[in-house]
Amino acid sequence: MIDKKIIRTSIISVLIGITISILILMFFAKEPGSAALDFITGTFSSPFYFGTFLNAAVLLCIAALGETVSIKSGNLNLGGEGQIYAGGFAAALVFTLPVPSSVAFLLGFAAAALSGTLQTLLAAFIRQFKKANVLLTSFLISAAAIPVIDSLIAGKFRGKTGNLLATEFIPENLRLLPILKPSPLNISVFAVPFLCAVFHLFVQRTKTGRQLTIWGTAPEFARYCGYSEKKSLFFSLAVSGAMHGITGALAVCGTYFTCHSGFYAGMGWNALSCTLIAQSEPILIIPASLILSWLYTSANRVSLMQGLQFDISSLIQGIILFCISVNYIARKRST
Amino acid sequence: MNFILGTLAASAPLLLASMAALTSEFSGCMALFLDGLINLSAFLCFAFTTATHSLAAGIFLSVASSAFFIGIMVILIEKLNANKFLAALAINLLCTALSSTLSSILFGTRGVLTDPAFVFSAVQSRIFSTIAAYILAGVCWAFLTFTKSGLYIRISGNDSIVLRAKGTDVTKVRFLAWTTAAVLGSFAGSFLCIRISSFVPNISSGTGWTALAAVFLGKKNTAAVITAVLVFSAAQYGANNIQNIELFKNVPSAVLLSLPYLVALLLILIFPQFQRKKLH
């Protein structure tokens, strides 16, 4: 059961974050009134923005589901961005291999999941054998991976994409079917409710899921019960890395059709915020991702319309996460 | 000799960041805001110096405004009883975003910033920042070791109950720890900026995160943290010059960007076991 008080504190913190974000936009906008109105309604004004908003929510959801599992087990995976990037890069390379499309599709997603998982498993390994905080090592691994991937994209694997630093475009038959042209929204949107339900059932109804949760909330009790810490650590981080990697693959075959330099920017941190707003509850990730996606799509839209030269999204990212940090404690108190 | 001097010079910003991380760690919170703060303070140092045409004023105003910003955030965190880890992460994102936003608003670009009023001799700036960094680190060590406030900071993380029983306001102690960390972190940012006579986006290049790794390796022991910093810096110095060696001349420069993180990971993999045995 989800506590109503918890939902209320989540909503309040997000509302405060949104209010501060709108105030900042109004402060810098040439026409504050229309900017505020545009911020609220603009995303729903055209199929392009509406589809972009839903597509961003899909990507957020998938990555956030991975983050959910690691947070449930008490491990904060801060390397989401590097895992998403590695996943997208691996998928983009496999998708261009000269093999039948169905094989390439499956191999691409497997490679994406694996490339994310390898990063998180390394963090789990360091935690297990050196007791280093996953929070720190997952970030370090991701930060080390990003420039290497950048270098590979700009060098050996650069495709014929003009001025764009990107890999070769993937074949047409491997691109996910669009459902709201000209937006990037595609059929992956239908998989999200199913995945959220699967993760919800896994966490709530399976022995492994319950053990993970107990490790996250009461590690001493989990140890007393004889639950394997090693299994919980490695499993949760493997799932987290895999989901981030798959997010990268989805971004490549559904949105960009290539792996371009820096496509991951902000996705990892936004997925973390999404998970924290949803209180690591898989079902709540859907509304949380919709809210965050709307916020960022609107902010970018207004920023473009009002001619703001700076990246408003990253500012909002920080504000929202700060508001969530307040809510996080309120939630802990109420539980 | 060149290698030793080069390592010492390279260690200056990391040393300050590590002392900042150590101070915050003592008070019970990992300084996850450091990397962003270094970026922000580097930008502020550039902006204030070009505005006032005085480097001293630029550094002072950068340090003061960074400390003020962190101080305000600490008050908010304590008053609202926020989760310190998440709040520190949020501050990290906010600081980086603020430096980019302010750069765009004040200078009309989010790219590299240069100005005739912000040009310094490479050798002199290195010597000055290295000496200043070691003096500041020494002052911080003395403050943490020999003063009552320093003692309170050191026990506020693990034994805050003792402080409360004694009637000491733990919130004030944490405020002091975070603002001290902010002061040291912003000196690190300012020095990074001065050394290259310009502001470059993401100038910290993971200095804040490497500092956290150094504190982890040092197990909160100042001497061990400084040793870790010197090892990191030696590795960094070696990595920076690796392209001068015939065998490694084709190493892509983008790969060099990941070296600080790789070195940190490598040292974490090598050192902790040894440290634990030694301490227990």
Answer whether residue B252 shows pLDDT above 80.
no
Please answer whether residues B203 and B38 qualify as being in contact, where contact means their C-beta atoms are separated by less than 8 angstroms: yes
For residue A333, pLDDT beyond 90:
no
pLDDT digits (tens, 9 = 90+) for A96-124: 998 898 999 999 999 999 999 999 999 99
Three-state SS for A214?
helix
Q: How far is A268 from chain B (nearest CA, A)?
A: 12
Domains of chain A: 4-334 (1.10.3470)
* C-beta atoms surrounding A270 within 10 Å: 27
Which residues in chain B touch residue A154, judged by CB atoms under 8 angstroms apart? Answer: 254
Range B224-260 burial, b when 16+ CB lie within 10 A, else e: bbbebbbbbbbbbbbbeeeeeeeeeeeebebbbbbbb
Residue with tokens 């371009």: A260
> Are B87 and A317 inside 8 Å of each other by CB?
no
- Tell me the domain boundaries of chain B: 12-208
Query: How far is it, in rounded angstroms, from Cα A180 to Cα B162?
Result: 62
- 8 Å CB contact between A324 and A13: yes
Report the complex ipTM: 0.85
Q: How confident is the model at residue B187, as a pLDDT?
A: 95
A-chain residues near B101 (CB < 8 A): 310-312, 315
Provide the whole-model pTM.
0.85
pLDDT at B31: 86
- Is pLDDT at A9 greater than 80 in this prediction? no
Q: Please give the full DSSP string across B208-227, using - where no structure is assigned.
A: HHHHHHHHHHHTT-HHHHHH
Q: Do A321 and B101 touch (CB under 8 A)?
A: no
A133 CB near a chain B CB, below 8 Å? yes
Contact B254 A139 (CB under 8 A): no
The residue with greater pLDDT, A11 or A235, is A235
In percent, the amount of chain A with pLDDT more than 90 equals 50
pLDDT of residue B272: 54
In the stretch 125-144 of chain B, residues with CB closer than 8 A to chain A read none
What are the tens digits of pLDDT across the range B39-75?
999 999 999 999 999 999 999 999 999 999 999 999 9
- CA angle, A15 then A19 then A22, to 5°: 135
Verify cis geometry, omega within 30 degrees of 0, for the bond prior to A182.
yes
The answer to whether the beta carbons of residues B140 and B180 sit under 8 Å apart is: yes
Q: Is A237 helix (H, G, I), strand (E, B) or coil?
A: helix
Q: CA B50 to CA A152: how far, in whole Å?
A: 38
Q: What is the mean pLDDT of residues B110-132?
A: 90
Distance of alpha carbon B217 from alpha carbon B226, whole angstroms: 10
> What is the pLDDT, as a whole number, of residue A332?
54
- Of A135-144, A198-207, A228-237, A322-331, the range with the lowest mean pLDDT is A322-331
Question: pLDDT for B146-200, tens place per residue?
Answer: 999 999 998 888 788 888 888 888 888 989 999 999 999 999 999 999 999 999 9
Q: Do B86 and A126 lie within an 8 Å CB cutoff?
A: no
Average pLDDT, chain A: 88
Give the per-residue pLDDT at A82: 95
- Percent of chain B surpassing pLDDT 90: 42
In a mutational test of the A interface, the residue from B29, B76, B86, B243 whose CB has the highest number of chain A CBs within 10 Å is B86
> CB contact, 8 Å: A147 with chain B?
yes
pLDDT in tens, A130-176: 888 898 899 999 999 999 999 899 888 888 877 788 899 999 999 99
pLDDT exceeds cutoff 50 at B277: no
